[in-house]
Structure 1
């Protein structure tokens, strides 16, 4: 697909307030030797990156120094040469300079499923973040290689729940509850998690969820157990469970750095949903004060936020839902509607460009994109594509079979759950 849109975040930042001036640089400066392993500038810049955060080799100077026009021409030429041998997936939160070259655009699971419609493709280039590429590898064939243009494109939320911490949590909970009978606890992991955690829930009778089917998945889990351990995003879990009528005092927060997650045994015995201490740094930026200002500035504005936003923000909004929900709500609105959107800035700006009949703006007045989506740049895309033309597969993401087998089971359970239409609150 090819689109012609208004300037992306990367370009708009030149004249607009941003959360970090380093966003104006090419992301390859973060790959230089001696640079600390961080998520980089953007919404996750203050999050603590684990020691195992992947490092990307320095992008060859040829790609760093090429003009935007040259990079786009080289990407188009490589795609033409490769033809059906390659499919490019672009996440909603990617910059427009990348999206214009994508064969499919969507959320992480939509894209992984879209890749399955191209079985002839030898390479799947996933312009997103690491856990998304892992999911694509889980769902692709053995003959296909999944490529992440920048290996440092991780996810701070996904990293907030690591396998060792979750297994330690599970051991404490099964010691407390017992692994069988009415005390059974069902693990549920959000799609925004590592393949290792998808494998964990697959081994323990659990399931994966997305932001669009989280309620249906929780209902599935409660048909099988008395409690749910939900990770890594506390806000999606809390907002979903609250909408199901579960009280806040039945949703204790599990801090992996404290015994029993910082809770008493009584708290945990009374619990229905145990929420992991994780969050999305993009959606954590949205506030009720921003919603109040939007309503004051634009009477009649429709406020839509992503359910990864804090509970008070979701409660104050007119509606909440997944990125796909937000896109469809704007598509269906009558001309002249004003929207204040609480999700990643690249998607908001793209929706504003695609819908000139509406007034669309981001709740957060400061441009602060997803730090790790920002790591994908046309330079990296041109590099991996031209290497494919030369017969070299670089930055391949592979999930080992011992992890992949139970992870696929968890994903298949998710696919078996048919969600109702997304709730507006």
Structure 2
């Protein structure tokens, strides 16, 4: 794989900074999400998961780390499968057996029945999902336990439970005359196993950015309205594309009584949007789209549906990471693409397609700060442990949580896009 270096730049008021160039072990025990995180992120507690990387691995030079990774992969053979998210840094993703989005990767692991260990180079909720879907005898490792997700943390179990109780007070828990529930909970894949389990217990479902519209259709067949968490933008963009008015999409702010709404607001709602967002995709703006069109007449602008609605409206298309990849793979020499998603993926697509011009809408290069915490040092350390017979940084979802979460995930699997 061609290596692509991410140049980290700054500007006044930017949420990116040169601290990202340091080893992530320097920030694993600090409060917050580390360098490059959005200053708008609300930081719940707890937000840190100790990385535990030994000092010896912190001090190893790059060549030794990569040699250790290669040797461990060779020694472990088919007993190991490494999964790399699209947003992962190139010096890590080059070792992945599969590269994709979170759900593609969780499913990809199932195609390796001889693998005893799944090493997920992504973030915490992704490794949880892999553990839920893995065979009982398989183990899942997250190389750096501090690789969380600020969006996923914006909807915690206690807040969602409290919101649900408030909504049941407003709607009642009896189904309508047509048998539909008052409200169906829908959680984005970018959420904790506990929230997937919540949906499984309450007649709800999980969605991805690829099948969100199909999932909402499923939900409306069974409920009068939807509680969508944690990403407001995916929920709003998807519902709007289905013809639902934004007037019927109140926001639920867990820090306010009734989420900051009146009972009338909630009674007339079709989709109740949780007050959450992706720090990376929130950075994209309509002005950036306009600048891309001014600089490159005829440019094709594609953004992720986690971007704010005005940005999605200004773009030519919106779609998941896999949609973006396929759109560019289907392009031709001389095409120009402006992409609104994480920079590691954009740079990798440009490296794979030198016959095209592919660039990120945001002129300030800002990788996902939590995904960036997966560093070759952590991968080398966890793989060395497996060779030595020690499982480090294993992700284990409790059986009761996994059972209910799997119900919601299986509903999602059955809700295939048309």
Aligned residue number for residue 8 of structure 1: 5
State the distance in 2 between where 1:144 and 1:187 align: 30
Structure 1 residues 54 and 43 mapped into 2: Cα distance closer, same or farther (>3 Å)?
closer
TM-superposed deviation, 1:46: 4.8
SS at 2:391 equivalent: coil
CA deviations on 1:10-42 (whole Å, 9 max, x unpaired) are xx33x78782110111111113xxx53211112
Aligned residue number for residue 355 of structure 2: 357
Contact persistence 1:45–1:371 (CA under 8 A): no
State the distance in 1 between where 2:198 and 2:99 align: 29
Alignment RMSD: 1.3
SS at 2:416 equivalent: coil
Aligned residue number for residue 24 of structure 1: 21
CA deviations on 1:251-303 (whole Å, 9 max, x unpaired) are 00000111111011111111000000000000000000000000001111000
Aligned residue number for residue 66 of structure 1: 60
Within the candidate set 117, 130, 145, 1:123 is matched to 117
Aligned residue number for residue 268 of structure 2: 270
Structure 1 residues 46 and 260 mapped into 2: Cα distance closer, same or farther (>3 Å)?
closer
Within the candidate set 34, 40, 50, 2:34 is matched to 40
- 4+ long deviations beyond 4 Å: 15-18
Contact persistence 2:32–2:48 (CA under 8 A): no
SS at 1:87 equivalent: strand
SS at 1:396 equivalent: coil
Contact persistence 1:39–1:45 (CA under 8 A): no
Structure 1 residues 45 and 391 mapped into 2: Cα distance closer, same or farther (>3 Å)?
farther
Aligned residue number for residue 78 of structure 1: 72
Tell me if 1:257 matches 2:251: no
State the distance in 2 between where 1:187 and 1:55 align: 28
Contact persistence 1:44–1:156 (CA under 8 A): no
State the distance in 2 between where 1:199 and 1:39 align: 25
Aligned residue number for residue 128 of structure 2: 134
Within the candidate set 348, 370, 391, 2:346 is matched to 348
- What is the TM-score normalised by the length of structure 2? 0.96
State the distance in 1 between where 2:382 and 2:50 align: 12
After superposition, residues 143-182 of structure 1 pair within 5 angstroms as 143-182=137-176
Aligned residue number for residue 234 of structure 1: 232
TM-superposed deviation, 1:50: 2.3
Aligned residue number for residue 333 of structure 1: 331
Aligned residue number for residue 83 of structure 2: 89
- What is the TM-score normalised by the length of structure 1? 0.95
TM-superposed deviation, 1:333: 1.1
Within the candidate set 21, 34, 47, 1:53 is matched to 47
SS at 2:27 equivalent: helix
SS at 2:223 equivalent: coil
Contact persistence 1:286–1:309 (CA under 8 A): yes
State the distance in 2 between where 1:50 and 1:134 align: 19
Contact persistence 1:43–1:369 (CA under 8 A): no
State the distance in 1 between where 2:415 and 2:175 align: 23
TM-superposed deviation, 1:55: 2.4
